[in-house]
Homo-oligomer: A and B are copies of this chain.
């Protein structure tokens, strides 16, 4: 049996109809930027998300299946710094430990891209945040080693995903396009010629709440 190739995946990446992956003005109050939470309506009601935040219940079905699938066979995560927190520039202290509290939903090593070094933070439940200051290629190499053969999931945000797309390093990208107009924010597509970079839409699975589409890079 051939072992599965280790991939860099983006899953459940929420976009507005007008192509924004986050609103403007990210802050402690608006982790996803202004109106950004509207992009995630399809996920917030799923059983997978409820479980992630320690609640019972939630809906099953395609949206939930796709939310769950995003966690399958993931051995490490990569996050842009803004996905880790709202702080910009040098770390003022070691107080900020991510958006999720003591037990974040990753449960594997998480590599945070930043220009500002910081010691790793071991959280409850198997998550350790590592801070990578030598760029996206180094982060991917380290994350793949840490994932021990499993896939690496790239969590975002928009700017980080764009950098990895531009470098042709993302193998699979699952976008969840919500029926919402943001009007402004961080555009995933603007100025990025995904077709020329070798990406194609290989599948779509629309639900009532989102148009799920799957992009893959063609073999070179």
Contacts and interface: CB of A to CB of B under 8 A. Distances in A.
A193 B187 contact: no
Contacts of A190: 187, 190
A34 to B, nearest CB: 10
A192 B113 CA distance: 31
B179 A204 contact: yes
A126 interface: no
Interface residues of A, number: 32
A103 B196 CA distance: 38
A190 B110 CA distance: 33
A180 B195 CA distance: 9
Q: Please classify the interface of chain A as helix (H, G, I), strand (E, B), loop, or mixed, using the class held by over half of its residues.
A: loop
A177 B179 contact: no
A208 B195 CA distance: 21
A208 B206 CA distance: 8
A21 to B, nearest CB: 13
8 contacts: A17-B175, A17-B189, A35-B195, A179-B201, A179-B213, A184-B193, A184-B195, A206-B207
Interface of A: 17-19, 35, 175, 177, 179-184, 187, 189-190, 192-197, 199-201, 203-204, 206-208, 211, 213, 215
Given A181-B199, A204-B206, 20 more contacts: A17-B175, A17-B213, A18-B192, A177-B177, A179-B201, A179-B213, A181-B194, A181-B195, A181-B200, A183-B194, A183-B195, A183-B197, A184-B195, A184-B196, A187-B190, A190-B190, A204-B208, A206-B207, A206-B211, A211-B211
